[in-house]
């Protein structure tokens, strides 16, 4: 690591409720994960039940969970370092350089799938993950705290240009939360990029499969609802890893530092709250008609189509605006030299990718029926997240593009849902 010879200029912007939010969120969100998992396992599965169904403390810790989490991170790190797949460059950094990233997440997913199939064939009781959910979540939360602490400390040896613009305020709690360093690396190993799509997203798929196996253990075969939830979410994760290169142009990689917000989100929040529908179905089986299933598949298909097409269009445009798939689109110039799309998907609403994502989120919850709010946690939380994320992105774009952004907003008045929002 280089020593910091320059005095770093402090950023002042305060997001997520500033220092107060940054102090509360790291306490509140881990407790929320544990609470949701406890409610989901309980027979009533009601978020309103009082007292909440807290598990005995003996159920919170299991050394098997610690071994599984450590082994999982080691396996995914090993797969990350395999010299397979292409190597791609990220966007230009403030110092004019570009970092290289291995694009082998899709390989990691399928090697993991093969290893898992072998384990199942050897009789490994994957359904036991259902019993281990709380200790696993506690270990993942602990890893995200330790990682964030390491990231915060090491950031003081990073050069001025390596710091993120938003997580360098001088307030330790806020900077710990937002992340000071933009692209922390150990050698060529990029910690943020690794965490973004691999241990959490692939781990979520393993948990989902574990819930399916638990259902098979209990009832002899998987339900249609469980199959749909597993299939939809596997499609989402496979797509994310197939298009892994696109993550290099997202806000998380380009703008946000690597701190507790992303470490906890990637390693604990995603795998242990996005699996709630599958977990819910183990305890609360649902019968789904073929017609109902067809409607839900259609909804997921429409959402996926909008999500994929719009993300690919912007990604292609940012990588090569002369490419034939985007060259015909209408654009407006900005003072930075970059152009903004005002036709195609990005002329439909200002965040068509969020619209597609939200439709899919709804399709993942509907197989769980209408009797409980808990399986709808994802779609509710995700709506709040994307509205907030849209506002953050809007602020960044206004700061970057000034008047051109205002012109874009006039041309494309709706943010996510046409004629509504």
Report how far residue 358's alpha carbon sits from residue 415's, in angstroms, rounded to the nearest whole number: 13
Q: Which is nearer to ligand NDP, 62 or 239 (CB)?
A: 239
Report how far residue 243's alpha carbon sits from residue 324's, in angstroms, rounded to the nearest whole number: 19
State the Rg of the chain over Cα.
Answer: 22
Q: Which is nearer to ligand NDP, 80 or 346 (CB)?
A: 346
- Least distance (Å) from ligand NDP to the CB of residue 408? 6
What angle is formed at CA 322 by the lines to CA 318 and CA 326, rounded to 5 degrees? 70
- Of the candidates 300, 229, 262, 273, the residue with the CA atom closest to the CA atom of residue 378: 273
- Least distance (Å) from ligand NDP to the CB of residue 89? 15
Q: Which is nearer to ligand NDP, 225 or 360 (CB)?
A: 360
- Least distance (Å) from ligand NDP to the CB of residue 71? 25
**Residue ranges that bind ligand NDP, judged by CB under 6 A:** 250-252, 307, 311, 314, 317-318, 338, 340-341, 346, 351, 353-354, 357, 389, 393, 396-397, 408
- Least distance (Å) from ligand NDP to the CB of residue 290? 29
- Least distance (Å) from ligand NDP to the CB of residue 396? 6
- Least distance (Å) from ligand NDP to the CB of residue 308? 9
CB neighbours of 297 closer than 8 A, spacing ≥ 6? 228, 363
Q: Which is nearer to ligand NDP, 163 or 270 (CB)?
A: 270
DSSP for residue 267: I
Q: Which is nearer to ligand NDP, 229 or 288 (CB)?
A: 229
From residue 380, give the alpha-carbon distance in Å to each of 14, 53, 92, 377, 385.
25, 22, 35, 5, 9
User: Can the peptide bond before residue 81 be classed as cis, meaning omega within 30 degrees of 0?
Assistant: no
Does residue 318 sit in helix, strand or coil?
helix
């Amino acid at each position: 690591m280089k020593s910091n010879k320059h005095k770093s200029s402090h950023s002042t912007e305060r997001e997520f409720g500033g220092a107060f939010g940054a102090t509360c969120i790291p306490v509140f969100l881990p407790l929320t994960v544990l609470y949701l998992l406890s409610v989901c396992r309980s027979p009533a599965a009601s978020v309103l039940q009082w007292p909440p169904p807290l598990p005995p403390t003996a159920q919170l810790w299991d050394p098997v969970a610690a071994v599984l989490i450590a082994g999982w991170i080691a396996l995914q790190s090993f797969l990350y370092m395999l010299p397979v797949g292409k190597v791609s460059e990220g966007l230009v950094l403030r110092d004019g350089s570009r970092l290289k990233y291995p694009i082998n997440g899709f390989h990691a997913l399928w090697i993991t799938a093969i290893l898992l199939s072998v384990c199942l064939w050897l009789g490994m009781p994957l359904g036991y993950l259902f019993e281990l959910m709380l200790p696993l979540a506690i270990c993942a939360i602990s890893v995200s705290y330790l990682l964030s602490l390491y990231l915060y400390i090491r950031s003081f040896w990073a050069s001025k240009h390596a710091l993120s613009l938003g997580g360098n305020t001088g307030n330790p709690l806020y900077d710990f939360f937002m992340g000071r360093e933009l692209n922390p690396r150990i050698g060529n190993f990029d910690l943020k990029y690794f965490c973004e799509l691999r241990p959490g997203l692939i781990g979520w798929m393993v948990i989902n499969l574990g819930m399916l196996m638990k259902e098979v253990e209990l009832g002899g075969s998987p339900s249609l609802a469980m199959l749909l939830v597993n299939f939809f979410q596997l499609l989402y994760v496979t797509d994310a890893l197939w298009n892994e290169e696109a993550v290099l142009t997202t806000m998380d990689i380009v703008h946000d530092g690597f701190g507790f917000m992303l470490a906890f989100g990637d390693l604990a929040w995603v795998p242990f709250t996005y699996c709630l529908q599958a977990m819910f179905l183990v305890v609360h089986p649902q019968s789904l008609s073929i017609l109902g299933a067809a409607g839900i598949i259609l909804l997921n298909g429409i959402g996926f189509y909008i999500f994929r097409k719009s993300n690919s269009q912007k990604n292609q445009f940012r990588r090569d605006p002369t490419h034939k798939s985007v060259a015909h689109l209408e654009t407006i110039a900005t003072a930075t030299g970059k152009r903004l799309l005002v036709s195609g998907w990005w002329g439909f609403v200002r965040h068509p990718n969020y619209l597609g994502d939200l439709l899919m989120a709804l399709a993942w919850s509907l197989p769980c029926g209408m009797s409980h709010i808990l399986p709808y946690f994802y779609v509710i939380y995700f709506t709040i997240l994307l509205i907030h994320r849209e506002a953050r992105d809007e602020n960044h774009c206004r700061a970057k593009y000034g008047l051109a952004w205002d012109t874009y907003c006039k041309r494309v008045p709706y943010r996510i849902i046409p004629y509504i929002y």
